Chain A
Amino acid sequence: MFFNLSHLIFRAKQGGVALLHGAVQFIQDIPWIFYIPEKMQMPIGNFIKWFNALFNGFFKKKKTFSLGLYGNPNVGKTSIANRISLDWTGTEVGVVSEIPHETRTVQKKERISLRVDGREITMNLLDMPGIATKVDYRDFLKYGLSQAESQQRAKEATKGIVEAIKWLDNVDVALVVMDATQDPYTQVNITILGNLEARSIPIIIVANKIDLKKAKPEKIREAFPQHEVVEISALTGENIEKLYKTIAYNT
């Protein structure tokens, strides 16, 4: 199977595009899971995604899609949203804070156009509130918030979490952001990924904060080997171009 596929790739380079698209469609339609060894499934899946992106880029009209930023609180979702938006529109999306649950309602930035490798894509960016299984108002007291402010923030945070969860079914592509200095195997990450997978929504995992010494992005790769992982620093901008490329080829 692999041998045939490398031939297909070769043919693609030679320009056998329409024919190859038919073949790829065929591979997708038949239950090929039964005879492709497990190790091969991911590379082939990636190839199909990559190829469809290329093909659609050639032959289909571009349409606007929505890109949602998901993850635990404080992993850097808003920092990434701001960087994307600043790079392509010149304005920011939301407020970044070291205090968890700064983003408590979905922040939208509409019609951001990215140009990558001659491809232009337009997207609506959705910066989500961080998802958590608990919100303890006492956690905010140590940042100097008053009792009342902390309780208000906790209340709004729980509503934000519900809103972010409701949106899980409605994004076209998801950036699942993780803090590379933290254990990636959180229930929140597992739940987010499980739901996106169940709906076949394309997923890009972003291993953020790689500027920090403690960062171990390889732990994220080990935890979720079935997904593409892009390592970046939203703070320094390191590797952000790679993220734009990955977005462009996954949509």
Chain B
Amino acid sequence: MAIQIELIPSTVFSGKEQDEKVRFILNMVRRDKILVLEATLSPVEEKLLIEKTMDHVTKDFPGIEIASFGEEAVDLKSKLVRFLGGRMSGFTVVGPSNLVKEVKRDPDKLSLWAAHK
């Protein structure tokens, strides 16, 4: 079986509620797709995604691997931008953990290791 990777442009996400975004991601990932989103999730969305993932864990779906990359909201200026609803550029890789062995981030790239069980 081949591994399917989907690239989701940020327009798909714009205007979506937090719940909707999380449901969208989880629906795809549970169907064995690896997503590359042209967006970063907010901390609250990340939290929600982990919570909802836990609700769906089974023998065959142990959970997700996720990492995002982009402008970090660490300094006060970008925090302010994020707080005021400004878009943070970046992207997020998320996939089912039984396909994605590891997503590693270092200062200038994200690396993803995928394989079948």
Partner-B contacts on A (CB < 8 A): 33, 38, 41, 131-138, 151, 154-155, 158-159, 161-162, 165-166, 168, 183, 185, 187-188, 190-191, 194-195, 197-198, 225-226
How many contacting A-B pairs (Cβ < 8 A)? 82
Q: How many whole Å from B16's CB to the nearest CB in chain A?
A: 19
Partner of B51, one of A151, A165, A190: A165
Q: A131-B50, A162-B55, A226-B74 are in contact. Are A195 and B66 (CB under 8 A)?
A: no
Q: How many whole Å from B50's CB to the nearest CB in chain A?
A: 6
Partner of A41, one of B51, B54, B73, B76: B76
Contact between B63 and A134, CB atoms less than 8 A apart: yes
Give the residues in chain B near A135, CB-CB below 8 Å. Answer: 54, 57, 62-63
Partner of A185, one of B44, B59, B105: B105
Q: How many whole Å from B103's CB to the nearest CB in chain A?
A: 8
Main SS at interface, chain B = mixed
**Could you name 6 residue pairs across A and B whose Cβ atoms are closer than 8 Å?**
A38-B76, A135-B54, A136-B63, A161-B50, A162-B54, A197-B79
6 additional contacts, CB 8 Å, given A134-B63, A194-B43, A225-B74? A33-B76, A134-B53, A135-B57, A162-B55, A165-B51, A190-B46
Within 8 A of A (CB), among B60-117: 62-68, 73-77, 79-80, 97-98, 104-105
Partner-A contacts on B (CB < 8 A): 42-44, 46-47, 50-51, 53-55, 57, 59, 62-68, 73-77, 79-80, 97-98, 104-105
Give the residues in chain A near B53, CB-CB below 8 Å. Answer: 133-134
Q: How far is it, in angstroms, between the C-alpha of A191 and the C-alpha of B54 when the chains are bound?
A: 15
Give the residues in chain A near B55, CB-CB below 8 Å. Answer: 158, 162
Give the residues in chain A near B65, CB-CB below 8 Å. Answer: 133-134, 187
Closest to B46 in A: A191
Q: A135-B54, A162-B51, A226-B74 are in contact. Are A187 and B43 (CB under 8 A)?
A: no
Give the residues in chain A near B73, CB-CB below 8 Å. Answer: 194
Q: How far is it, in angstroms, between the C-alpha of A197 and the C-alpha of B43 when the chains are bound?
A: 9
Q: How far is it, in angstroms, between the C-alpha of A122 and the C-alpha of B93 when the chains are bound?
A: 43
Partner of A194, one of B46, B54, B80: B46
Q: How far is it, in angstroms, between the C-alpha of A131 and the C-alpha of B79 when the chains are bound?
A: 24
Contact between B97 and A33, CB atoms less than 8 A apart: no
Contact between B63 and A165, CB atoms less than 8 A apart: no
Closest to B72 in A: A190
Closest to A168 in B: B47
Q: How far is it, in angstroms, between the C-alpha of A73 and the C-alpha of B72 when the chains are bound?
A: 25
Contact between B57 and A133, CB atoms less than 8 A apart: no
| A-B complex: 5 closest residue pairs judged by Cβ atoms | A134-B63, A194-B43, A136-B62, A134-B97, A158-B54
Q: How many whole Å from A47's CB to the nearest CB in chain B?
A: 16
Partner of A165, one of B50, B67, B68, B79: B50
Contact between A187 and B57, CB atoms less than 8 A apart: no
Contact between A133 and B76, CB atoms less than 8 A apart: no
Give the residues in chain B near A226, CB-CB below 8 Å. Answer: 74
Contact between A136 and B97, CB atoms less than 8 A apart: yes
Q: How far is it, in angstroms, between the C-alpha of A135 and the C-alpha of B80 when the chains are bound?
A: 35
Q: How far is it, in angstroms, between the C-alpha of A136 and the C-alpha of B23 when the chains are bound?
A: 21
Give the residues in chain A near B57, CB-CB below 8 Å. Answer: 134-135, 154-155, 158
